Structures are given as C-alpha cells and as structure tokens.
Amino acid sequence: MSAPNGENDFLYELKVELVQEVTLAESSNPEQAMGLPVTEWLFDPTDVEREEIGLRGLLGAVEALEGDDRPDDQGAAHS
C-alpha cells in the first residue's frame, strides 16, 4: 500500500498510527490481567478496553472520511 498524495496525506498517516495503537492495545491482553489480584495489575484492564474501543472508533471515522473523499474526487473529474 502506497501513501496517497495531496489532501489525504494526513488521513493516511493518522490511519497508520491508529492501526499501530490498536495492535498495541490488543497485544496487552487485558483479559489475562483481570485474572490477577488488583494489587498485581500493571494497568487497569478496563481502561485498555476503553482505549481500544475509542481507537477503533477513530479508525472507523478515518476510513469513512477516506471513503467520502474518493467519490468526490471522481465526481470532480467528470465535471
């Protein structure tokens, strides 16, 4: 996948960063931490799940913006 030129550069870079953050949140395995006593938690598993949900929401929004840009670009070419 190559980086697009022009206005979509920011969205592309944001999407790459969000994918990395979602991957990091998934790899923290909050389910395993829930099995430990609270005093042994390095992080609150609920916070990790909330963060992952938020990141997925942002990723979906970026993908929707990318989808919205494509039809407009095609429509402008036909005008």
Q: What is the pLDDT of residue 77?
A: 47
* Confidence (pLDDT) at 55: 95
Q: What is the pLDDT along the chain (79 residues), one digit of tens a residue?
A: 445 556 678 889 999 999 999 999 888 887 888 888 989 888 888 898 999 999 999 999 999 988 876 544 454 444 4
Of 21, 3, 5, the closest CA to residue 13 belongs to 3
What's residue 15's pLDDT?
Answer: 93
> Is there a contact between 7 and 47 (Cβ–Cβ < 8 Å)?
no
Q: What is the pTM of this model?
A: 0.68
pLDDT at residue 5 in the model: 59
CA distance 28 to 46: 12
